[in-house]
């Protein structure tokens, strides 16, 4: 990506230094704490699955049994019970579903636990590395058939089998990425449902079986279309680490995973969220899964023209949290959006400035660019024009992941023909402007450069204020997205635990060693 804005390198460096100052105290808190969802994710990585007769997932049953002992790490008690009873994890999962309490078993010697853990850690490593290898081989095989940027569409019927049909249609229409949006408010459930689901409101439940169904569908459709189709779901909410674990084992390719989205937009406790996002990113980084962050959502509650700098500031913070989890830039799909009021004079130029600014500041990140939603109306013709302009900015500024806008946005859940029109629109723009960015330069001191410089300067001021106040206090003050959240409020705080001196999690240890992150305690 060429330098079209004349940015001073030192400004980007300063922003990253401020992000480090902001994240540092949070990092220290994360290192000293675990959560019930981190422990359930670790149980799942051991192979724990299933549910009891009431439909309660076995990982939740085990975590509830161990609630008073969570500070020591749940895997210790699971493997201890397996050793004492001479059972595998699968057998123990069935026993717990039938009423066995693993907290009642005396824990054997630590050396025996570590030896037993190696089997399950190696099994998890083998599965994830095989997924990585298969994905890389398929992407390389079909690379020449991909769109540039990658075209991202959503299916969200509530029925996983209907989602599979619609996803297959989208593949043959030209999509590169398919996201199965989650049913409304699943992020507030403190458990992951079990099995295939056929009922959901505004989306489909994220479950391991649903992931398997969609992965198989897209693999088959992709082979027919001569493409590797990326599968996306949401590693967010109260089960963020668990869904990341399921994504890693079922070969998802991208996961929505923001450091603050759940706090701001779902009122999930910030302490819980920051600990959960770290473990979920360790898993995604090791699994080579691209995360998509949620800065675009800021512009649904705050004005895109006035508060564009908060998007950029959050991207620097998200980048720092991702680096802390050993995640390289190539896996950071930092989010932003085309959300300015269409009645603003020169708004198109301001959108270009914001998109180009993000592109130049994060040159190695596969940025995820979101279409207009806030100012879409029942006028489908104007909506189609707005989506066309969005596609043009995406191509001009070198975005890599482009979620396609629907002309019926804000009217109804898109029909398959709406999705077809969105893909057709994007492919037309991409083809007809294939070399546009190579032919364009921005006038020195012109509208685009001035706007980018203004946003950068306001971002630095904002990051400085957040660093001075602290991230927790800044969120409480409503500095992000104009939304205030209490550090002691929100959902899930009761699921946060300070680690004891003997805390042990063999998966956390392995992930940090493999990702070269210090401090595996």
The DSSP secondary structure of 374-422, one letter per residue, reads TT--S-HHHHHHHHHHHHHHHHHTT-SEEEPP-TTTTTSSPPHHHHHHH
Tell me which of 296, 307, 369, 418 is the catalytic residue.
296
Contacts from 312-316 at CB under 8 Å and sequence distance 24+? Answer: 312/15, 312/357, 312/358, 312/361, 312/455, 312/456, 312/459, 313/15, 313/459, 313/462, 313/463, 313/466, 314/260, 314/480, 315/358, 315/361, 315/362, 316/15, 316/16, 316/18, 316/19, 316/459, 316/463
Tell me which of 368, 395, 491, 512 is the catalytic residue.
368
Domain contains 126: yes
Identify the segments of the chain with pLDDT beneath 70. Answer: 1-2, 519-521
Q: pLDDT value at position 26?
A: 98
**pLDDT tens track for 260-287:** 999 999 999 999 999 999 999 999 999 9
Domain contains 416: no
Q: pLDDT value at position 485?
A: 97
**Rounded to an integer, what distance in angstroms lies between the CA atom of residue 168 and that of residue 53?**
34
The residue whose two tokens read 């109306």 is 377
Q: pLDDT value at position 2?
A: 61
Q: pLDDT value at position 291?
A: 98
Strand partners, 291: 255, 332
Tell me which of 191, 205, 261, 369 is the catalytic residue.
261
The residue whose two tokens read 């995640």 is 327
Neighbouring residues of 244: CB distance < 8 A, sequence distance ≥ 6: 41, 235, 255, 257, 279, 280, 281, 283, 284, 289
Domain contains 92: yes
**pLDDT tens track for 61-117:** 999 999 999 999 999 999 999 999 999 999 999 999 999 999 999 999 999 999 999
Domain contains 71: yes
Q: pLDDT value at position 411?
A: 82
Q: pLDDT value at position 301?
A: 86
Domain contains 305: no
The DSSP secondary structure of 489-521, one letter per residue, reads -SB-GGGEEEPPTT---HHHHHHHHHTT-S---
DSSP tag of 155: E
**Rounded to an integer, what distance in angstroms lies between the CA atom of residue 392 and that of residue 388?**
6
Q: pLDDT value at position 519?
A: 52
Q: pLDDT value at position 520?
A: 42
Domain count for the chain, please give it. 1
Domain contains 499: yes
Domain contains 171: no
pTM of the model: 0.95
**Rounded to an integer, what distance in angstroms lies between the CA atom of residue 403 and that of residue 507?**
33
Residues 6, 449 contacting (CB under 8 angstroms): yes
Its domain, for residue 99, covers 32-144+491-521
Could you confirm whether 296 is annotated as catalytic? yes
Domain contains 119: yes
Nearest to 395 by CA among 361, 439, 364: 439
């Amino acid at each position: 990506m060429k330098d079209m804005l004349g940015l001073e390198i030192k400004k980007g460096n300063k922003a990253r230094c401020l992000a480090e100052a902001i994240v540092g105290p949070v990092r220290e808190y994360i290192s000293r704490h675990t959560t019930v969802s981190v422990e359930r994710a670790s149980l799942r990585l051991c192979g724990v699955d299933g549910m009891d007769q009431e439909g309660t997932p076995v990982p939740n049953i085990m975590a509830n049994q161990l609630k008073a002992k969570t500070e020591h790490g749940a895997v210790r008690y699971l493997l201890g019970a397996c050793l004492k009873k001479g059972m595998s994890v699968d057998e123990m999962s069935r026993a717990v579903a039938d009423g066995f309490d693993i907290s009642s078993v005396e824990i054997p010697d630590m050396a025996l636990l570590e030896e037993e853990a190696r089997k399950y850690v190696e099994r998890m490593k083998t599965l994830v590395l095989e997924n990585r290898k298969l994905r890389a081989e398929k992407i390389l095989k079909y690379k020449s058939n991909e769109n540039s940027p990658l075209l991202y569409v959503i299916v969200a019927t509530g029925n996983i089998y209907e989602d599979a049909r619609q996803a297959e249609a989208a593949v043959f229409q030209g999509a590169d990425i398919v996201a199965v949006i989650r049913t409304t408010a699943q992020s507030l459930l403190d458990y992951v449902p079990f099995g295939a689901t056929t009922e959901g409101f505004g989306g489909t439940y994220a479950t391991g079986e649903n992931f398997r169904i969609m992965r198989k569908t897209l693999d088959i459709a992709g082979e027919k279309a001569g493409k590797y189709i990326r599968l996306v779901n949401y590693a967010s909410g109260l089960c963020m680490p668990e869904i990341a674990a399921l994504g890693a084992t079922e070969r998802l390719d991208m996961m929505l995973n923001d450091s603050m989205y759940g706090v701001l937009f779902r009122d999930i406790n910030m302490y819980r969220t920051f600990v959960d996002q770290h473990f979920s990113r360790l898993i995604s980084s090791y699994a080579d899964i691209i995360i998509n962050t949620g800065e675009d959502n800021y512009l649904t509650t705050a004005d895109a023209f006035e508060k564009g700098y908060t998007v950029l500031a959050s991207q620097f913070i998200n980048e720092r949290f991702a680096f802390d989890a050993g995640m390289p830039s190539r896996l950071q799909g930092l989010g932003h959006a085309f959300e300015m009021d269409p009645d603003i004079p020169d708004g198109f130029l301001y959108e270009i400035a914001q998109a180009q600014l993000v592109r130049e500041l994060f040159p190695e990140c596969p940025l995820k660019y979101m279409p207009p939603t806030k100012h879409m109306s029942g006028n489908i013709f104007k909506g189609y024009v707005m989506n066309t302009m969005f596609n043009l900015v995406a191509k001009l500024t070198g975005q890599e992941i482009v979620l396609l806008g629907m002309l019926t946005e804000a009217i109804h859940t898109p029909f398959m023909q709406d999705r077809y029109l969105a893909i057709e629109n994007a492919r037309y723009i991409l083809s007809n402007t294939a070399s546009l960015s190579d032919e364009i330069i921005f006038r020195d001191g012109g509208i685009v450069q001035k706007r980018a410089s203004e946003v950068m300067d306001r971002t630095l001021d904002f990051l400085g204020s957040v660093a001075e106040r602290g991230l927790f206090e800044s969120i409480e003050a409503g500095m992000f997205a104009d939304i205030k959240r209490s550090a002691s409020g929100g959902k899930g705080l009761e699921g946060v635990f300070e680690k004891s001196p003997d805390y042990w999690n063999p998966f956390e240890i392995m992930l940090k060693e493999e990702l070269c992150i210090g401090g595996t305690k």
